Structure 1
Amino acid sequence: MNFNSNNPFLKNDKFTKEKQGGVTDFNASQTVERYNTIDLTNGTMTIQGTINKSFILLALLLVGAFATWYLTASGYNPIVLTVGGAIVGFVLVLIAAFKPHLSGKLAPGYAIFEGLFIGGISAIFEARYPGIVIQAVGGTFVTFLVCLGLYKFRIVKVNQTFRNVVIAATLAIATYYLISFIASLVFNFQMFHHGSSLMSIGFSAFVIVIAALNLFLDFDLIEDSAAKQQPKFMEWFAAMGLLITLVWLYIEFLRLLSKINSRN
């Protein structure tokens, strides 16, 4: 069974193991040969291990975010740390996507640098729209809990059709954002989602829904990967992928709330 996600982490096929006769076919010697740095004696991936590492990454992200927020409150211009954090975080994501066995080293760094970005962008939004950050955090937290509950109790079931629709929508959004960025940079033209029109607000709400649906894909792949007893480093890999989705969701909440506030 092939499990996919929009997240470059959570759709990496290096860890897909086929089941034959109900038994997972897992050749440890081949895996060690492929990743010389891996010691499978350290154990295999578990859901609890992934949860623990997700909390570690979240804590590191909050540390980075607080650092930028504090410096901004002290009069420091957050642009350097915000842009620098975003660039370094993106580079670490790319490296981890191609070198997932290094996730144990890359994931903490990503969390910290992404925290710098989050802290800076949050400070900028908060300065313009007081109270928006706590609203965005609350929206992200509630959305995560609702999606987790819906998945845990199998109210929402992830099948191949579900995956295909969510992945297609996510790729469409990513393509639109890329075209919008190029149009703004090259032609100084802003697409409709930059404004605070009802259409722009509706678009942001749609993006939040798609980001939330990606959480189901993340939950599903984490559960399936643990069931297939993938290598231990996949806990960091999966936790990093889940954090990427949460960051995206938070940023989209900031955008939506800023548009609503600008109309008041």
Structure 2
Amino acid sequence: MSNPVLNESTFDKMRQRHAGEPGWGVASGQPTGTWAPPMTDGPTTKYHPGVMTVSGAASASLVLFALLLISAAVGWIAVAEPEPNRLSFPPMAFVGAIVGFIAVIVTMFKPMLSHILGPVYAVGQGLFIGALSKMFDAMYSGIVLQAVGTTLAVFGVMLFLYRTRVLRVTDKFRRIVIGATLGVAVLYLVSFVTSLFGANVSFINSSSGIGILFSLFVAGLAAFNLALDFDFIEKGEQMALPQRMEWFAALGLLVTLVWLYLEVLRLLAKLRDR
């Protein structure tokens, strides 16, 4: 649910791996090894790689988002109705979710494979989201359109706040958001494990006041993670990370958007149940 892809440890790994190479530095201006401005003369080759840019990360994000939408449409259509008013969740959607999860885990350790694993995640997760959305829409008519609109609106607001520097990603802000995200992740994990034994953390799925407040908190936390994603992309350009890291950044952003959408969908469903 949270975004394990874009985090400070990625910067640390890339610094250690490429310390002393031309074109590498840190956003704060403190050197790690010998820093020099990125060389841009001559053609891009494997010996003279391109560097990450914000526009490049944006383009990669659009590609992954398009793949997600197409795959989601397939997942939506794949939901069968064996009997009137009874839907059957397609097995390939479960497979897609598992494949997407594995792709993200591998990318955490092999970020330079993001240009391959990013599309794999988008397609796999798209199948799952499309099928899940169809199930929700069957129970709550029109809820998917509301969730999509809300997610895009939140994305736009967070991007505006970040670009205008109304919202600044400081070290303290980053620690709080990451800490809270890890806390929610642990809570979800505990809830999943206890559900295997017939128990559950009731307020997570409850439409009670506490349940709705919890969903509001988690959705807000997902929104703040978008700010961390924007910051990662901006710093990646400043540090002149390798061009393939554009796909890594795009994947991280998509992971957060998917999480935000699912939390908004859950919140709207709870509100409908009241």
In structure 1, give the amino acid aligned to 2:63. I
Cα shift readout 1:223-245 (whole Å, capped 9, x = no counterpart): 00111100011000000000000
* CA distance, structure 2, for counterparts of residue 207 and residue 21 of structure 1: 30
* CA distance, structure 1, for counterparts of residue 140 and residue 102 of structure 2: 31
Pair 1:65-2:72 in alignment: yes
Pair 1:49-2:56 in alignment: yes
In structure 2, give the amino acid aligned to 1:173. V
Partner of 1:164: 175
* CA distance, structure 1, for counterparts of residue 26 and residue 224 of structure 2: 27
* CA distance, structure 2, for counterparts of residue 20 and residue 215 of structure 1: 19
Identity, % of aligned positions: 46
Deviation at 1:7, TM superposition (A): 3.2
Q: TM-score, normalised by structure 1?
A: 0.88
Partner of 1:212: 223
Structure 1 vs Structure 2 CA RMSD: 2.2
Match 1:256 to one of 239, 247, 267: 267
Pair 1:84-2:95 in alignment: yes
Cα shift readout 1:92-139 (whole Å, capped 9, x = no counterpart): 001111111111111111101110011011011001001000000011
CA 1:149–1:187 in 2, change beyond 3 Å: closer, same or farther? same
Deviation at 1:40, TM superposition (A): 5.3
Deviation at 1:70, TM superposition (A): 1.6
Partner of 1:32: none
Q: What is the DSSP-based 3-state SS (H/G/I as helix, E as strand, rest coil) of the residue aligned with 2:141?
A: coil
Partner of 2:207: 196
* CA distance, structure 1, for counterparts of residue 95 and residue 146 of structure 2: 26
Structure 1 contact 81–120 (Cα < 8 Å) conserved: no
In structure 1, give the amino acid aligned to 2:58. I
Structure 1 contact 68–78 (Cα < 8 Å) conserved: no
Deviation at 1:184, TM superposition (A): 1.0
Partner of 2:4: 8
Q: What count of residue pairs does the alignment treat as equivalent?
A: 249
Deviation at 1:191, TM superposition (A): 2.4
CA 1:215–1:180 in 2, change beyond 3 Å: closer, same or farther? same
CA 1:23–1:161 in 2, change beyond 3 Å: closer, same or farther? closer
CA 1:217–1:21 in 2, change beyond 3 Å: closer, same or farther? closer
* CA distance, structure 2, for counterparts of residue 48 and residue 242 of structure 1: 14
In structure 2, give the amino acid aligned to 1:246. L
Structure 1 unmatched runs, 5+: 1-5, 29-37
In structure 1, give the amino acid aligned to 2:57. T
Q: What is the DSSP-based 3-state SS (H/G/I as helix, E as strand, rest coil) of the residue aligned with 1:86?
A: helix
Q: What is the DSSP-based 3-state SS (H/G/I as helix, E as strand, rest coil) of the residue aligned with 1:119?
A: helix
Match 1:39 to one of 34, 46, 49: 46
Deviation at 1:185, TM superposition (A): 1.1
Partner of 2:124: 113
Moved over 4 A (4+): 17-28, 73-76
Q: TM-score, normalised by structure 2?
A: 0.85
Structure 2 contact 81–88 (Cα < 8 Å) conserved: no
CA 1:40–1:251 in 2, change beyond 3 Å: closer, same or farther? farther
Structure 2 contact 25–240 (Cα < 8 Å) conserved: no
Q: 17-26 vs 108-117, which deviates more? A: 17-26
Partner of 1:125: 136
